[in-house]
Amino acid sequence: MNLETRKVGFKSYYLVVFFLAALAAVALLTLDNGSGIVEKRNMGVAANNKAKAESNEEKIIELVSECNLFSGRWVFGKASSSSSSSSYPPYEEGQCSYMTPEFACQRNGRPDSKYQGWKWQPRGCDLPRFNGTALMEALRGKRLVFVGDSLNRNQWVSMLCLIESSSSLRHSTVIRDGNQFTFHAPEYNSTIDFYWSPLLVESNCDDPMEHKVKQRIVKIKAIEKHGRHWTDADILVFDSFIWWLQPSMTILWGGSFSPGSSDASYKQVVEGMEKRVYEMALDTWSDWVEFNVNRTRTKMFFMSLSPMHPYGESLDVLQHCYNETEPTLEEDGYRGRRRVETFPDDFGLIAQSAIQKLARRGVRVEYLNITHLSDYRKDAHPSIYTYDFQKEADPRKRSRHSDCGHWCLPGVPDVWNQILYSYIINSSS
């Protein structure tokens, strides 16, 4: 009996081992097939996403070539909880890590927020939704530089806020080196810089922090000090208008800005000469662009004049956009009903002429005419709700010295960047 029992136990042992081995083999086959299914599924998703991205790029290319993105109207599309393209604003002021105090109107006490909910609607088409991931892919291994004054910095901050809100890009610290402020995205080996050069050429206003001087001095034929920082850029976005509107300015020929420079020659700019001086500065800029920028590699853009709104609803009241809470919706825009001298169209024509001359010399610069679309938005300036004006205790003085040149964020510069984004995607495809 004991022997039989042992034989049965021995056979049972091998049956159990055989059963477990077979079960393990089935499990391995199932796991392998499952991995293959998952891998194929992931490949399918990746291919589908790539196809969607390519399809989106094709639509943007077609849009830029066939639609005038600068002609249209503002429509109200206040933020929804959905992620559709109708959601507005594209980001929240308090959630942007790169927001600076002068553009943070809500933080500075602005009581209304409707100005954030207006969308630009081009005629006959839709403005492409800003896609931070798509932009960073287009900028992979590249350098984008905004060059100009505080309005270009306004646009640069907007760009960083848009990227942060529409991509998985991790937070990056902005580093200052002299006139340059650099946002580095190591995942893409790319940088998005702002370079302070308000007059493009050299001046005594070139310190990005200490540039408020009583008498502006411009070295009209000198640009290399700034330009050498731009030569390796893949995309350049220029802007220079507002700083040329000051009636009192001095031209410096040769020498340095230091008082008592022996070889310096000065020429006082009198009223009526401002446009000629601006033209001379753009000639210097154009020459530098022609001989220093790799025209087959570097894409260049020039932003048109950003309008100011120093007058309220009544032409008799110089209230500096204070208490303006609604855009102008008339077809002719704000400027059609306001004092023309506050909108120097001649400066825009001078810039366009310089760009056309460059084109004849084989250098392409895209002129992004954002003036008219921005002109409707008298409601979207910081007014008294900016960092500097919070220091003024007397509300009457604050209303008379409102900031009607810069823009609250989120706001109008986001639309400029949506348009710029469309052109960048178009040029990189």
3-state secondary structure of 112: coil
Q: How far apart are CA 351 and CA 282, in angstroms?
A: 7
Burial of 56 (0-12, 13-18, 19+ CB in 10 A): middle
Catalytic residue from among 234, 239, 375, 403: 403
The answer to whether 156 and 168 are in contact (CB under 8 A) is: no
Q: How far apart are CA 52 and CA 250, in angstroms?
A: 55
Amino acid at 138: A
Instruction: Give the DSSP letter string of 171-234.
Output: P--EEEETTEEEEEETTTTEEEEEEE-TTSSEETT--SSS---SSEEEETT--HHHHTTTTT-S
3-state secondary structure of 250: strand
3-state secondary structure of 376: coil
Catalytic residue from among 166, 234, 406, 414: 406
Q: How far apart are CA 34 and CA 38, in angstroms?
A: 6
Closest CA to 266 of 247, 248, 252, 256: 252
150 carries an active-site annotation = yes
Residues with Cβ within 8 Å of 400's Cβ and at least 6 positions away in sequence, in order, are 318, 319, 320
Q: How far apart are CA 46 and CA 52, in angstroms?
A: 10
249-253 and 216-219: which strand pairing?
parallel
12 carries an active-site annotation = no
Catalytic residue from among 150, 304, 374, 399: 150
Tell me how many degrees the CA angle 90-91-92 measures, rounded to the nearest 5.
140
Tell me how many degrees the CA angle 30-35-36 measures, rounded to the nearest 5.
100
149 carries an active-site annotation = no
> Can you read off the two tokens belonging to residue 197?
């050069």
Which residues participate in catalysis according to the annotation?
Answer: 150, 403, 406
